[in-house]
Amino acid sequence: MIILVTDFEEFYLAQMKGVIWKINPEAKILDIKVRNHDTISGAFVIDKIIDYFPDSIIIGVVDPGVGGSRKNIVIQTEKNYLIGPDNGLFSLVCERHTPLKIIEIEKKNISKTFHGRDIFAPLAGKISLKKDLKGKEIKKIKDLDIKDPRIEKDYVECTIIYIDNFGNIITNIRDVKFNKIIFMDKEIKFLKTYSESEDFLVLIGSHGFLEIAANKKNAAEFFNLKTGDRIRFYYA
Amino acid sequence: MIILVTDFEEFYLAQMKGVIWKINPEAKILDIKVRNHDTISGAFVIDKIIDYFPDSIIIGVVDPGVGGSRKNIVIQTEKNYLIGPDNGLFSLVCERHTPLKIIEIEKKNISKTFHGRDIFAPLAGKISLKKDLKGKEIKKIKDLDIKDPRIEKDYVECTIIYIDNFGNIITNIRDVKFNKIIFMDKEIKFLKTYSESEDFLVLIGSHGFLEIAANKKNAAEFFNLKTGDRIRFYYA
Amino acid sequence: MIILVTDFEEFYLAQMKGVIWKINPEAKILDIKVRNHDTISGAFVIDKIIDYFPDSIIIGVVDPGVGGSRKNIVIQTEKNYLIGPDNGLFSLVCERHTPLKIIEIEKKNISKTFHGRDIFAPLAGKISLKKDLKGKEIKKIKDLDIKDPRIEKDYVECTIIYIDNFGNIITNIRDVKFNKIIFMDKEIKFLKTYSESEDFLVLIGSHGFLEIAANKKNAAEFFNLKTGDRIRFYYA
C-alpha cells in the first residue's frame, strides 16, 4: 500500500499515481487531502493513519518550501517507509516509530516545482518493488514548529494541530480531565460524546487528543481559529 | 464491494479503510461523501446507488446523534448488507429492498465517538468474508422525518431530499407533469434537459425525481434552500 | 485503466463506476474532478494526464450542453480511447495525439440528462473488454473557444486555461522568458520555484505552461480571474 498525504489533488495527484503505476502496476494507492500549505495538519494525519496501514509506504507532500533549501528524505521505520520533504511532516510519527535509517535523497536536475511527481512517486514505486534504499544517511529530521502543551495551576495551554471538516478543533494535549473550562469567554463542558451537548463541548476525540467541538456547528469558524494557533483553557 | 457513504473524509475515512483491509485485504472499497450532518442526503444517496452495486455491503455513517441513544444496526436484504446507525439513513432504500433480517449491534465499551471505525468497519470486513451475522433481531427501522409529497388542485407540496454540487434541488416527488409552475415568485418551465433553458428549469432528473435546476447557476443558493425544506410549486 | 474526468462527483460518479464494474469487474478506475461547467479546465486536465496513463480509456464529462445538439464521440488514438461530448474537451490532447478514428455515438432514446452513466460508462466498459468499436466515422472534432497566445513588442497576451486549487493561474503560453512583468498594475518577478518569492511570482509550472502564482496566497482570487479569461503581461 502506498499512501499519498498531500495538500493537492486534481491532475497533480493523478500524475503521481500514473508515475507509481508505471513502475508497479499492482500498487494499491490511497490518497488523503490536507489543507493547503498546512504542514502541521499533514504531520497529524500521517501520525493518525500509520498504525492502520502496517507495511505501507507513506508519501507526504505538504511542502510550501518546495524548491527551497529543505532536504528530501526517506525514513525507514520498523514497518513503514516515509518519503517527502524534511519539513516536520514526519516528526510526530517518528516520536512513536523510531527511524531505523534516514536517507537524504540526492537532488538531481529535474522539475523544480513538483517533487511529488518527479522524485517521491518514482521512489515509492521502486521501494514497493523491494528495491534497495541507497543514499547518504543523515542523523535526524526536522521538528514541527509547535510547542508542547503546558498544564498550569489555573489553565492549560496547547496548540491546535488539526481542524477537521466539521470545524472540530483538535489540540496537542492528551490526558487531561476536568468538568468544565472557560475558553474565549465561553463556559464549555467536558463531555464524552458530541450528542450530549446542544452547543459547544470539549471532549477527548477518537484520535486521543483534546478537542473543542460543537453540535452541528463549526467551532473553528466560530472562534476564528486555525492550525498552529496557541490557545488557553481556564479551569471553571 | 464495500461502499462507505459518510459525511466525513480526511483521516477518519482512511482509518475506516485501514480497518477493513486489515480484516479483508482483498476488499474493494468505494466511498461517497455527503453533506455534513445531512441524514436525508445520505439516505437519498444510498437509495440512488444500491442498484448499481448488487451484492455490496453499504456502511452509512451520517450520524449527528453518535454516542446518543439511537441503535446501531445491520440490515440484510436480498442482495445487500446495510450497516450503520438506525436514524433513517436506510429508510428510503428499505422501501424498495425489503429487509430480510434486521440485527441490533451490541454496544460494547469502545470509542464513544467513532462508531464508523470501531464498530461498522470491522463488521463490514467480517461480513465480506462471509462470516455469520449474529445478534438480537429487531422488527423495524426508523424512518426519516420527511413528509410525503402532496398533490393539490392548485399546487404540489414536496420536500427537498438532496442538493447536488451544481446546486440542483432534488425533491421527493415523481410522476408529475406540467408545462410551467410558479416557484417563489418565479415562473419556471418544465423541460426535458438542462440545455433547453438559459435560466431556471424544472425537470425529472436522471435519478427519477422532480428537480429545480438552473443553467450554469446554483439554484439552491439562489433560492436559499436546503435539504429537508418543504416547498410548494403553484401551477402556472 | 478507465479514467473519469468529470465536473461532478457524489452519487452521479458512483453510478458511472457501478455501470463500468457491472460490465468489467476487473476495470481499474481513476477519477479526477474539474470545476463545474469548465470545459477548458477539463480539456487541460485530460491533456496533462494522458501521457501518465498509456493504454487508458478516458471518459470526459464536462458537458454544460448535455441534451443539446452536440455530438457524443469516441476518439481512438495510437494508445488511448477518449469518450465524451464533442465540445472541445478532447481538442488539446488531440493536437499532440492524432486521432486514428473518430466515431459518432448513435443517440438512442435513453436518459436525456445523464449521458455519462447511460452512454459513456457502458461504452468504456465494453472497450476495456476489447469489444469492437463500430459506428459512423466523422472527420474532425470541435475545438475549444480559446485564442492562441500573442507575443507582441510590449506585451504577451494569453488565455487562462486552468486555475488550480491553490489559486495558481495557468495560461496557454509556453516558451517565454523575461525577468519581470507588469500584470494588472503589479510588478511580478519571473522565478523558478514558489519558495523564491514571498509574494506574487510568474514561473513555468511543472505542467510546462506560464503560471501566475503567489506564495501561500490565492492569486486567482486576488486578481479575480477565471478560466477562459484573456490576460496581458507587459514587459517591465
The ipTM estimated for the assembled molecules is: 0.95
Contact call for C22 and B52, based on CB within 8 A: yes
Contact call for B206 and C18, based on CB within 8 A: no
For testing the chain B interface, which of C15, C16, C69, C113 should be mutated: the one with the most B CBs within 10 Å? C113
Instruction: Name the average pLDDT for chain A.
Output: 94
Indicate if the pLDDT at residue A223 is higher than 80: yes
- Burial of C182 (C-beta count, 10 Å sphere; 0-12/13-18/19+): middle
A55 — contact with chain B (CB < 8 Å)? no
Indicate if the pLDDT at residue B32 is higher than 80: yes
Indicate if the pLDDT at residue A111 is higher than 80: no
Interface contacts A/B by beta carbons within 8 Å: 69
Q: How far is B72 from chain C (nearest CA, A)?
A: 24
Indicate if the pLDDT at residue A203 is higher than 70: yes
Share of chain B above pLDDT 70, in %: 98
A66 — contact with chain C (CB < 8 Å)? yes
Q: Tell me which residue in B11, B22, B64 faces A45 most closely, judged by beta carbons.
A: B11
Contacts of B216 in chain C (CB under 8 A): 36-37, 64
A49 — contact with chain B (CB < 8 Å)? yes
Q: Tell me which residue in B11, B67, B118 faces A193 most closely, judged by beta carbons.
A: B67
Q: How far is A107 from chain B (nearest CA, A)?
A: 31
Residue scoring higher pLDDT (B73 or A132): B73
Q: How far is A146 from chain C (nearest CA, A)?
A: 19
* A109 confidence band (pLDDT: 50, 70, 90): low
Contact call for B52 and C10, based on CB within 8 A: no
Q: pLDDT per residue over B152-172, tens digit each?
A: 999 999 999 999 999 999 999
Encoded amino acid at A63, one letter: D
pLDDT value of position C110? 59
pLDDT in tens for each of the 236 residues of chain C?
Answer: 999 999 999 999 999 999 999 999 999 999 999 999 999 999 999 999 999 999 999 999 999 877 778 899 999 999 999 999 999 999 999 999 999 999 999 877 655 679 999 999 999 999 999 877 888 999 999 999 899 999 999 999 999 999 999 999 999 998 888 899 999 999 999 998 888 888 999 999 989 999 999 988 999 999 999 999 999 999 98
Contact call for C10 and B32, based on CB within 8 A: yes
Q: pLDDT per residue over C193-228, tens digit each?
A: 888 888 999 999 989 999 999 988 999 999 999 999
Cβ(A220)–Cβ(A163) under 8 Å? yes
A139 — contact with chain B (CB < 8 Å)? no
Q: pLDDT per residue over B187-224, tens digit each?
A: 999 998 888 888 999 999 989 999 999 988 999 999 99
Contact call for B68 and A203, based on CB within 8 A: no
Contacts of A111 in chain C (CB under 8 A): 206
- For each of the domains in chain A, give its residue range(s) and CATH number, in order of start: 2-137 (3.40.50.10790), 150-235 (2.40.30.90)
pLDDT value of position A65? 74
Interface contacts B/C by beta carbons within 8 Å: 68
Enter the C-alpha cell of residue B157: 407540496
Q: Is B94 helix (H, G, I), strand (E, B) or coil?
A: helix
Pairing between strand C2-6 and B169-171? unpaired
pLDDT value of position B110? 59
Cα torsion A90, A91, A93, A97 to 10°: value is 110
Cβ(A1)–Cβ(B22) under 8 Å? no
Closest residue of chain C to B30, computed from CA coordinates: C14
Cβ(C129)–Cβ(C100) under 8 Å? no
A54 — contact with chain C (CB < 8 Å)? no
State the Cα angle at A81 between A76 and A85, rounded to 5°: 90
Q: Which of A151-160, A222-231, B73-82, C176-185 has the lowest mean pLDDT?
A: C176-185
| Residue whose entry in the numeric block shows the C-alpha cell 485501514 | B18
pLDDT value of position C109? 64
